Structure 1
């Protein structure tokens, strides 16, 4: 009987892993330094690495295992719902609502698939990230935002849309809870400034416009 239950649990896990494989070819808006478009799985991997590297420097103790679980889970829904660019959501708020609805359906399905094992934990981790109330969720959110900008910094400036010039300077609100993240944000923002200046753009003008538009 025990083996039968475990076999059912493992079969369900294989179903979720089959679903998750889509993240290897679900493409994001970001581009890589070699000119290839980034996959969701690649974004999640580097977020995880960032968590491991930054964890010893945080001012408050973080549950690293819990943090990594949250990071790995947070975009799993995109295997079903697809990745929706933040730029599209800014341009059309209705798209954001549709995205939330599709992701809610996806996480419910994943919870159902894993009912016999840790489906509820996966579901709770997803919403913990979304609500951004716990320290681990705030850390995960900060890493998410910083990794996106870092990837933009690595990509050729020709892949940036004009609105992304502005978005380089609005990450501050996501990192204020920990000085380590403030310092890291400043370093990443400096990289973005240098990239924009290298393209002959007026960084002061862009920064002021971003503050006026997104504050």
Structure 2
């Protein structure tokens, strides 16, 4: 007889498959649209690369858990681009409501202490309560900009030109992440200026 714990694990894994076909408003350098799963993987890679350079000690396992759990919610709630909620209070509230329902569902699906842990880690990320949460949030935003920088600029919406210079609100708490942000912002600036000159 199969242990119910393993059946629950398989259900969570089946849910996560949706992230492989849930598309983001980001395009790859080869012209294909990016999936949420691909974004999450690279945010996790960035976390592994940056943690040795941060000015404070960080719980890397907790950081990686936060990154993965944060995006798992999108398997239920879908991915909403940041520019859709930027200046839209109603859209922001609806997104928050849908994501809260999704994390509650995931909490029950995972079950037990682990389900509780995932629920609290998701909220910690959302509220930026800790250094780990702030780093996770910053990396999430920085990866999105890196992907925009790699994509054909024809895929950019007008608002994304401005958003390329708004990353500081997510990185200002950390001198190391500020430096990292500056490199990414410079790439965006070069891309915009090169396109303007060639156009």
TM-score tier (shorter)? over 0.9
Question: Which position in structure 1 is the counterpart of 2:65?
Answer: 69
SS at match of 2:24: strand
Query: Are positions 1:120 and 2:116 aligned together?
Result: yes
Gaps of 5+ in 1: 202-215
* CA-CA distance at 1:113 after TM superposition: 1.3
Q: Which residue of 2 aligns with 1:147?
A: 143
Secondary structure of the 1:14 match is helix
Most deviating of 115-124 and 22-31:
115-124
Q: Quote the offset at 1:84 in angstroms.
A: 0.8
Q: What's the CA shift for 1:91?
A: 5.3
Q: Which residue among 76, 80, 83 is the counterpart of 2:79? A: 83
Q: Deviations over 1:76-132 (max 9, x none)?
A: 111011111112112533122111111111111111112235100110110010010
**Alpha-carbon separation, structure 1, partners of 2:87 and 2:175:** 32
Partner of 1:28: 24
Residue of structure 1 aligned with 2:179, choices 183, 194, 198: 183
Partner of 1:42: 38
Q: Which residue of 2 aligns with 1:165?
A: 161
Give yes or no for contact 1:9–1:116 (8 Å, CA) kept in 2.
Answer: no
With normalisation by structure 1, the TM-score equals 0.88
Q: Secondary structure at the match of 1:94?
A: helix
* Structure 2 portions without partners, runs of 5+: none
Aligned length: 197
Instruction: Tell me how far apart the structure 2 counterparts of residues 169 and 187 of structure 1 sit (CA, whole Å).
Output: 12
Measure how far apart 1:193 and its partner are. Answer: 0.5
Provide Cα deviations, 1:15-56, integer angstroms capped at 9, x if missing partner: 111011000000000111000111000000000000000110
Q: Aligned partners of 1:185 and 1:116: how far apart in 2?
A: 38
Q: Which moved more, 1:171-180 or 1:108-117?
A: 108-117
Preserved CA contact (<8 Å) 1:175 1:181 = yes
Instruction: Spell out the pairing of 1:11-22 with structure 2 (5 A cutoff).
Output: 11-22=7-18
